Amino acid sequence: MNAAILVSVQVGRPRFLGTDAGLPEQLDHRWRSAFFKEPVAGPVMLRSTNLEGDRQADPRVHGGPEMAVLAYSADHYPAWREELGIAEMGPGGFAENFTISGQDELSVCIGDVYRVGGARVQVSQPRGPCYKISYRWKRPDLLGRCEASGRHGWYLRVLDEGLVAAGLPVELLERPNPDWSVRRAADVYRARKKRADEAEQLARLAGYASRTAARILAGR
């Protein structure tokens, strides 16, 4: 695995986004989101539930201690630009807070603990991509493409608060579940009814998000 680097840090706050004549008809309405993130210049404090300056529009399904940071692979963007023909797609394009090179859903595992600057973080679960990905880029097919490709990102919980900044290394400290990549966890969760034994294993992994684990164990 290549050395992982935090190449960009982004934050954003919820705002209403109006209709746009360029949107496909099925996406042409007002929506509220913090999907649009802006890069941070210099160090920023990572707290237990957010980077300073970052918020979520719907805290029922985003944010909180187990989804404090959304991470995304910088290495995916060249493929997206080529596939979609969107030259400006780059860091922050999938609403991530951390854009990281040298990592992806196949090389990062559930429960991994990393040091980034003064903070220590842990991989809690895959990102479940939502419809706002399609809204952001005005591409109705993008959500499906994101799910099918596995290029969806992952969430981090904050074990130790601290300052983080673009350009810092992302240093692996612990890997309790080496057989459970983010990609495998996402695949098993989506097929949890058919892969019940694996889904139960997933739910009981050290470091896996407790709310999602409870949903699996309850048969939902």
Kindly report the backbone phi and psi dihedral angles of residue 100, in degrees, each rounded to the nearest multiple of 5, phi listed first: -120, 125
Please report which helix (H) or strand (E) contains residue 77, including its range.
Answer: helix 77-84
pLDDT score, position 129: 79
Provide mean pLDDT across the span 110-117.
98
Residue with tokens 């209709």: 19
Determine contact, residues 216/189, Cβ cutoff 8 Å: yes
From its phi and psi, is residue 207 left (phi > 0), alpha (psi between -120 and 50) or beta? left
End-to-end CA distance of the chain: 35
What is the distance between the alpha carbons of residues 120 and 12, in angstroms, rounded to a whole number?
Answer: 22
Q: Taking residues 104-120, report their average pLDDT.
A: 98
Give me the pLDDT at residue 98, please.
98
3-state secondary structure at position 74: helix
pLDDT band, very low/low/confident/very high, at 44 (cuts 50, 70, 90): very high
What's 147-201 look like in SS3? Answer: HHHCCCCEEEEEEECEEECCCCEEEEEECCCCCCEHHHHHHHHHCCCCCHHHHHH
Please tell me the total number of residues recorded for the chain in this structure: 220
In the prediction, which pLDDT does 115 show? 98
Topology adopted by domain 5-177: M1 Pyruvate Kinase; Domain 3 (2.40.33)
The domain locations on the chain are 5-177
Statement: residue 59 has pLDDT above 70: no
* Confidence (pLDDT) at 151: 97
